[in-house]
Amino acid sequence: MDKLTAQFQQLVEAAKNIVVIQADNPDGDSLGSALALEEILGDLGKEIHLYCGVDIPDYLKHLEGWDRVHKEMPTNFDLSIVVDTSANVLLAKLAESQYRSWVASRPAVIIDHHSGVACDIPFATVVINDEEAVATSEAIYKIANALKWQINLQAKSMIMSAILSDSLGLSSASTTPHTYRVMAALLESGVDRSALDEARREMTKMPLSIYTYKAKLISRTRIAANGKLATVVIPHEEITTYSPLYNPAPLIQGDMLQVQGIEVALVLKQYPGGKVTGSLRSSAKAPISSAIAKLFGGGGHVFASGFKINEKGNTDEVLQTVEEYVKNHFSPKEETDNATV
């Protein structure tokens, strides 16, 4: 057992009430990790409260227990655990609330897996960032096993679902032999992957309005950097209209990377006041997503990253910067060739 894991164990043992915190961009790994910790720590006799500063999106509601995640915190907790982020910027809702001072006054553990990301969360007591794990849920599985904590079947199901989410069904280049060994152990213990996949497919079926919207996004996709980069911009009015039904970024990014020659896919979202967020996905030939995100203060995996510009974000300047980076990564001397699909 390493020193950080031992420190985490001590903090958990000393706590009675624990808050598990997700970032403002909850995804399958953050929610699955939170729900798994709820089970694991609950079996240790702890009272667990699940917090997220934003509503859980509809496409994640196939995970049983999503409705136990709240935007309010209890006043009497002894420890907080932040899952799936080391970036303070992704906890903006927490920072804007009264809960920020509560969390900062108590021990806080960060459990993450994003490579090349230094934790800048100022209230962190212990930071466990397992960069070899494809998902935070895989890191949690390893920690629980190291501490000989029981992982019940529901927790294992959440861990498997979360791993599948962050590894794109085990197709991501970040998936390791250890990930496959974890998946095999979960299957052998009774987790029903087919049932998890069916629940996800049923919940993530898109309404007709989203199907037609996807066609619009495809028509607006721009190809740049000598055919290596695909980008699309989502204005705020479309976020308001369509995000409650389906997140526009995962709706389109997989298809972007299926186009011949495309190695990097960028989706930009525009918000009032000049706020801009970016979601990056890239292929095995372009492990540069996290490097691009760092240009704008973000981070993540080398194949999947994100960033947020809180004010005065210029979309055209962002696109130009990303285009130049991708172009130079592949062929520094070539001219960028812009086109519209």
- Residues 163, 213, single domain; the answer is no
Give the lowest-confidence range in 21-30, 54-63, 120-129, 226-235: 54-63
E-strand spans in 103-200?
Answer: 108-112, 126-129
**pLDDT for the residue numbered 310:** 83
The neighbouring-strand residues paired with 278 are 268, 307
Rg of the chain in Å (alpha carbons): 20
Of the residues 184, 201, 218, the one at which a domain ends: 201
User: What band does 339 get if pLDDT is binned at 50, 70 and 90?
Assistant: low
Element containing residue 225 per DSSP (H, E): none
In angstroms, the CA 3 to CA 15 distance is 19
Q: Are residues 192 and 217 in the same domain?
A: no
CB 271 within 8 A of CB 309: no
Residues 263, 334 within the same domain: yes
**pLDDT attached to residue 333:** 55
For residue 335, the model assigns a pLDDT of: 46
Q: What average pLDDT does the chain have?
A: 92
The model's pLDDT over 255-296, given as tens digits with 9 standing for 90+, comes to 999 999 999 999 999 999 899 999 999 998 999 998 999 999
Same domain, 35 and 69: yes
> What span, in angstroms and rounded, lies between the C-alpha atoms of 326 and 292?
9
Tell me how far apart the alpha carbons of residues 217 and 215 are, in angstroms, rounded to a whole number. 5
Does one domain contain both 250 and 190? no
Select from 199, 175, 185 the least CA-distant residue to 301: 175
Neighbours of 285 (CB within 10 A): 12
Q: 314 with 179, same domain?
A: no
Query: Based on the domain organization, do 132 and 100 belong to the same domain?
Result: yes
Residue 116: pLDDT band with limits 50, 70, 90: confident
Is the pLDDT at 254 greater than 50? The verdict is yes
275 and 172 housed in the same domain: no
Q: Is 292 within 8 Å of 255 (Cβ atoms)?
A: no
CATH code (residue 247): 3.10.310.30
* pLDDT mean over 203-208: 81
Query: Does residue 299 have a pLDDT over 90?
Result: no
Q: Select from 201, 216, 245 the last residue of a domain.
A: 201
**Residues 122, 69 share a domain:** yes
Q: Which of 201, 228, 257 is the last residue of a domain?
A: 201
To the question of pTM greater than 0.85 for the whole model, the response is no
Q: 260, 29, 32, 303: which is closest to 171 by C-alpha? A: 303
Q: How many helices (H) and strands (E) does the chain have?
A: 13, 13
Same-domain status, 189 and 277? no
Question: Domain range spanning residue 269?
Answer: 208-340
Judge if 15 and 151 occupy the same domain. yes
Backbone angles phi and psi of 277, in degrees to 5: -120, 150
Q: Are residues 151 and 262 in the same domain?
A: no
CA angle 327, 169, 276 (to 5 degrees): 45
Contact between 71 and 53 (Cβ < 8 Å): yes
pLDDT grade for 341, boundaries at 50, 70 and 90: low
- Does the pLDDT of residue 340 top 90, yes or no? no
Q: Is 24 helix (H, G, I), strand (E, B) or coil?
A: coil
Long-range contacts of the stretch 9-16 (C-beta < 8 A, 24+): 9/147, 11/79, 11/107, 11/109, 11/125, 11/126, 12/41, 12/44, 12/46, 12/79, 14/78, 14/79, 15/46, 15/77, 15/78, 15/79, 15/107, 16/46, 16/47, 16/78
Query: Based on the structure, what is the number of domains in the chain?
Result: 2
Q: What is the pLDDT of residues 166-176, one digit of tens each?
A: 888 888 888 99
Q: Both tokens of residue 319?
A: 């696109």
* C-alpha span between 67 and 52 (Å, rounded): 11
CATH number at residue 23: 3.90.1640.10
